[in-house]
Amino acid sequence: MADKAIGAFARATTRAMFWKMILLAGMRRRSQALMAVLCATIGAATLLCLATICLVVPAQMSDELRAYGANLIVTAEDGFDDASACDVAGIVRAAAPAQAALYRYESVRINAAPYTLAGIDARDVRALNRHWNVEGEWPSAGNVMMGRDVAAALGVTVGSTVTIGIRDDESDATLRHGRRSTDILSADGTPMRVGGIVDTGGAEDALVYADSGDLQRLAGARGADVLEFSSQGTEAELSTLAETLQNAGGRGDVRYQAHQVTRMTASNARIITMLRMLFGIVSVVALALTLVGVSTTMSSIVSRRRAEIGLRRALGATPRDIAAEFLTESALYGAVGGVVGCAAGYGIAHALCAQVFERATAFNWWLAAVCVLVSVALAIAASMGPVRRATRIDPAIVLREE
Query: What is the pLDDT at residue 171?
Result: 40
Instruction: Identify residue 64 by its one-letter amino acid code.
Output: E
Q: Is the pLDDT of residue 396 over 70?
A: no
Nearest-angstrom CA–CA distance, 78 and 179: 8
Q: How far apart are CA 313 and CA 9, in angstroms?
A: 24
Q: Does residue 365 register a pLDDT over 70? A: yes
CA 47 to chain centre: 17
- Answer positive or negative: Cα dihedral of 342, 348, 352, 353: positive
Check if the beta carbon of residue 80 is closer than 8 Å to that of residue 222. Answer: no
Give the pTM.
Answer: 0.57
pLDDT digits (tens, 9 = 90+) for 100-117: 999 999 999 888 889 999
Taken as a whole, the chain contains a residue count of 402
Confidence of residue 299 (pLDDT cuts 50, 70, 90): confident
Confidence category of residue 65, pLDDT binned at 50, 70, 90: low
* Averaged confidence pLDDT in the chain: 80
What's the distance, CA 349 to chain centroid? 14
Q: What is the pLDDT of residue 104?
A: 93
Give the span between the Cα atoms of 4 and 10, in whole angstroms. 10
